[in-house]
Structure 1
Amino acid sequence: MSTTLFHGGTVWRGHAQPTGHALLVRDGRIVALDDEALRLADAAEHSDGAGAATAAASGTADAAASGTADAATSVERIDLESGFLMPAFGDGHAHPLFGGLEAEGPDVRACATVEEIVAEVRRFAEEHPEREWIQGASYDGSLAEGGLFDARWLDEAVADRPVVLRAWDYHTVWCNTRALELAGIDAETPDPVLGEITRRADGSPLGTLREWGAVELVTDIMPPRPAEERLRALERAADYYLARGVTWVQDAWVEPGDLDTYLLAAEADRLRLRTNLALYADPRRFAEQLPDFVESRRRVQEAGSPLLTANTVKFFADGVVENETGALLEPYCSALHKHGMSVWGAEALAEAVCAVDAAGFQVHVHAIGDAAVRQALDAIEHAVAVNGPRDRRPVIAHAQLVDEADLDRFASLGVIPNMQPLWAQLDALMQVLTVPRLGQERADRQYPMRTIEQSGARLAFGSDWPVSSGDPRDGIAVAVSRRTVDGEPAGGWTPHEILPVGVALDAYSASVAHQAFADSADAAWGRIEPGAAADLVHLAADPRDLDPSRIPDLPVRATWLAGSPRYRGAPSLAVS
């Protein structure tokens, strides 16, 4: 029987909860807090295992002393060293398989110019002559004017093999000429449904493909990644997250091959992280997908892994503002009649959401622009009206721009806004691509996190990793300051949307657990109370006492999943 006592620091239970100083964990579950935790630990060390178990079950010091055998229970005592223990973080919207796979290709994420990207692709190709295709991600889409990248630039690095690079947004790819040729994309190729082939003045394809209708022209002919490569990617993603205090992730875009990878990992005992899968709903073939979703959920349930579920279906309502594919109520500044891309259309989205909801799935909708957010809210409202009341916890991810008339609808419909706090800053991407497309008035209404949270909605956070950093510390720092890493602007961009630190911590922990339905007796995590799973993160200092600019560098000393240490950081350093 494993027993651990945490003491010597702050035990943080949540923004609206009392703060404690000690915590006792037995067999992966929290059994006591504060003085009671100390008494039970002392009693357990002077009792037999049976007596200690009785103590844990009854929650009394008298029971802890009831053991009669000579052998004492061993208690691991962890000194928090004036640090901060809290529920582990969760990531309510991410793409761990994508993130893990990035290390299998050229490191273009680190490149600050087009020339650096080309040089890195050349280096990787020369070091890997066995690769038939060169695949990589995530290049910075703001490095070329308008986000338009030319195939001929990549041809300078590799001309005889296809090169396909995903942009940081994962809605765009940049190809060399050989990749376009193999995909049959030329001047005569029409733009596909739900996609755009950007072109030169003469009509020939430029090399940049936008949204998945166009992206799939290339990705559908690429050879599948080897199974072992994909398994390594999942393990790499888990290691990345655990080192940052994250124990649960919502994989927000899962296709059949991805499901197979997760099941293979579960079978081989290579899952290291709690993960829920959101099965991707495609408007072009949704009719045949729904039975497959039900079967996929059954396969995951039968796999029996306590770390894996498949309870969610993912919809895209639109694209992204940077591509001018995010759906807007009013047109983009670049064109009087360009409102972006509605992936489903209002009626089709409502019917598909209703069908998925009737099958018992949680709905998770990507909605960036205000028109897409309204469509998503309308679709959920339709499902509620048709299917009747139940605990459904629908999610709208991103909610970058929300019309004033829709701000209160999240709370009234029980919709969880899963927002990406790291994006709420005036960085280069915002200033180069986003603001010019929206105009200043709309740009200043982006990411209304505080407004929606104060309306009564349960605000949860996600990172969209690898689109952006998956480190909750990075997102929290922006959420509580609305400033860039350079501290700009001094008072914060749109400062009325700044969140209190405790609310931001909750949004990255307890509220993500709520999104994950992690509050039943046998699956509880995300909170510190007796009976809950001991998913915990130990930070070197109390983030509430730090200037926001210091939060990203706050050391994670350790992460526990169900009481088991999954990450231990460097030796402690003083943090003042």
Structure 2
Amino acid sequence: MRLLLLPALALALQAHAAPGTVIDNANGYTLDAKDRLLRFQSMAFDANGRIVAVGTAREVAAKAQGFTHVDMKGRTVLPGLIDAHGHVFGLGEIATGAELYSSTSLDGAVKTIAAFAKANPQRGWVVGNGWNQETWKLGRFPTAAELDAAVADRPALMRRVDGHAVWVNSRALALAGITKDTKDPAGGKIERDAQGNATGILVDAAMDLANRVLPRPTEAESRAALDGALALLRGAGLTSVHDAGIGVAEDRLYRAYADAGKLTTRVYAMIGDTGEDFDRLAAAGPLKSHAGDLYALSSVKLFADGALGSRGAALMAPYSDAPHTHGLLFHDDAAMRARMAKAMKAGYQVNVHAIGDAGNRQILDGYAALLKQYPAAGLRHRIEHAQVVAPADIPRFAELGIIPSMQPTHATSDQNMAEQRVGKERIRGAYAWRTFLKQGSRIACGSDFPIESPNPFQGMHAAVTRQDMQDRPPQGWYPEQAMSVKEALRCFTLDAAYAARQENVIGSLEPGKWADFIVTDGDLFTVPPARIGRIGVLETWLGGRQVFKR
């Protein structure tokens, strides 16, 4: 199978040759502002990429005289899909490091890392991504000594699958200056043995000890990562993504790519924290739209706690499978609110990562206090993940107008350890999509790529079936929390657009909006639910321009 990206020049010439384009003979679906699922045969969009008409062939033809016609041959057409939480440069960087997502054992991971190091002798650091001690059935974290067996001649750093812990070798520990006397940083943890020596695992804020000595990517490496990520995103049918945490360098590249017409997926970016990069990027105020809605920078990403898999998520009561720990809040209430207030005062939407029930409560309390001082003014603040929430706190999302930004595949990936972590009572407020929907919350769905696959059909499959891609468990994991197919489509389209305050320009196929759409090899609404995750994208169109064809 070969991926084909049509030349921009040819598309530009096509746009100027006619007032617009009509796609005919489509098996089309879209939602509208009233949450109705509409069917259509034809859709017209002008030379600028804006939708002119949607409906029957006759209705559209009457409003699109002189337009070029493209026959869809009965294939399914859907609105372009939106991932409300991902990490674009991280996705692109995966291809340049040791790949551990598919490793099923510690021994296999060590062999993979050793082979990668041998094949890349020029690299000063050996870096990889995707290990998961739960998948390995290890019952513990791996150690620096075990990583030394793969790489001993230079520093090595392997990121855990959730991005909330790193596994480093002895060289990296030495370069980072981590000794028995190094104290745990606020919001982080250095895993230690019985004698107090660092074992090679750094959790959450402790990762910074190693990251600060890890060389930053060059401009060429960052461009290569962005190019690689964009190819994957357009091939997955994602016409827009929310990049959860960027800095000055990434912003510069996004603007350059948007200006040059090279941004083949729209990006709604969040500034990572409210430190030095925020001060520089926020000097001119929020950027609501750049280069025809290709890029926006009007939100901030903060962290309340860590992840469940590494036991960094902050819980109000101890972990059920590790009663010595509650996890980690990154900041005390005052420090957290100061960050939130700084962003709100500057007019930015605040999106806070919170996974544990204590992390979610801290942020909900913060919003409750700060929204009185800084009225929302349509900013639609969010909690990213909202993964384990005390049942009593779920109604507060609706009361405060906070959007739960959730990732369906997290539930199906976490089913092997989530209940062990939190127990049978707390799990009732975890991954609770139906509970949120029932109270009227609009869920913005994403994947948290590269932690999970960026394939949005796998996300919709998880949302509808509560099963992983191997159809486990047979009846679904807590299936009472599943979404309908329509709700799953909405959370990856209109509700994701709503969470970025972009529902008036993208998210559905309606006149006046951008012609962002995809053509698929299966009908989302007629295939068996177990097949949803295997639907493939044949074409992706962004603003009336075809950017991908299989």
- Does TM-score exceed 0.5, indicating one fold? yes
Cα distance between partner residues in 2 of 1:491 and 1:256: 46
Q: Which residue of 1 aligns with 2:88?
A: 96
Of 231-240 and 480-489, more deviation after overlay is shown by 480-489
1:419-466 per-residue CA deviation (whole Å, 9 max, x = no partner) reads 1111223x5x532x4322211332343111011011011111010001
- CA drift of 1:167 comes to 0.9
Q: Which residue of 2 aligns with 1:548?
A: 529
Task: Report % sequence identity.
Answer: 32
2:61 equivalent to 1:31: no
3-state secondary structure, aligned to 1:330: coil
Q: Which residue of 2 aligns with 1:353?
A: 340
1:493-545 per-residue CA deviation (whole Å, 9 max, x = no partner) reads 2121111100100100111111121134xxx0111111110010112222121
- CA drift of 1:266 comes to 4.4
Cα distance between partner residues in 2 of 1:359 and 1:207: 40
Cα distance between partner residues in 1 of 2:288 and 2:423: 47
Of 220-229 and 381-390, more deviation after overlay is shown by 381-390
The code of the aligned residue for 1:10 comes to: N
Cα distance between partner residues in 2 of 1:406 and 1:191: 30
Q: Which residue of 2 aligns with 1:278?
A: 270
- CA drift of 1:138 comes to 1.7
Q: Which residue of 2 aligns with 1:430?
A: 415
Aligned partner of 1:12 among 2, 7, 29 = 29
- CA drift of 1:562 comes to 0.4
Cα distance between partner residues in 2 of 1:485 and 1:321: 21
- CA drift of 1:293 comes to 4.0
Cα distance change on mapping 1:562 and 1:175 into 2, 3 Å? same
Q: Is the 8 A contact 1:154 1:175 kept in 2?
A: yes
Q: Is the 8 A contact 1:234 1:271 kept in 2?
A: no
Cα distance between partner residues in 2 of 1:383 and 1:113: 46
Cα distance between partner residues in 2 of 1:466 and 1:330: 30
Of 163-172 and 404-413, more deviation after overlay is shown by 404-413
Q: Which residue of 1 aligns with 2:495?
A: 511
- CA drift of 1:560 comes to 0.6
Q: Which residue of 1 aligns with 2:433?
A: 449
**Gapped runs of 5+ residues in structure 1?**
44-54, 57-63, 65-72, 570-576
- CA drift of 1:38 comes to 3.7
2:514 equivalent to 1:530: no
Cα distance between partner residues in 1 of 2:322 and 2:521: 50
Q: Is the 8 A contact 1:296 1:310 kept in 2?
A: no
3-state secondary structure, aligned to 1:453: helix
- CA drift of 1:333 comes to 1.8
- CA drift of 1:166 comes to 0.7
- CA drift of 1:336 comes to 4.7
Cα distance between partner residues in 2 of 1:497 and 1:303: 38
Equivalences for residues 223-302 of structure 1 within 5 A = 223-266=215-258, 269-281=261-273, 286=275, 291-295=279-283
Q: Is the 8 A contact 2:22 2:67 kept in 1?
A: no
Q: Which residue of 2 aligns with 1:119?
A: 111
Cα distance change on mapping 1:208 and 1:558 into 2, 3 Å? same
- CA drift of 1:263 comes to 4.1
Cα distance between partner residues in 2 of 1:209 and 1:196: 6
Q: Which residue of 2 aligns with 1:329?
A: 316
- CA drift of 1:146 comes to 4.4
The code of the aligned residue for 2:234 comes to: L
How many residues end up aligned between the 2 structures? Answer: 528
1:306-363 per-residue CA deviation (whole Å, 9 max, x = no partner) reads 4221111011111112222211122212455632211122333233323311211011
Q: Is the 8 A contact 1:105 1:134 kept in 2?
A: yes
Q: Is the 8 A contact 2:285 2:347 kept in 1?
A: no
- CA drift of 1:192 comes to 1.8
Equivalences for residues 58-137 of structure 1 within 5 A = 64=65, 73=66, 75-79=68-72, 81-137=73-129
- CA drift of 1:295 comes to 2.5
Q: Which residue of 2 aligns with 1:475?
A: 459
The code of the aligned residue for 1:109 comes to: Y
Name which one, 1 or 2, has greater alpha-carbon Rg.
1
Cα distance between partner residues in 2 of 1:207 and 1:338: 19
Cα distance change on mapping 1:126 and 1:132 into 2, 3 Å? same
Cα distance change on mapping 1:102 and 1:401 into 2, 3 Å? same
3-state secondary structure, aligned to 1:19: strand
2:162 equivalent to 1:169: yes
Q: Is the 8 A contact 1:478 1:548 kept in 2?
A: no
RMSD: 2.2
Cα distance between partner residues in 2 of 1:40 and 1:100: 40
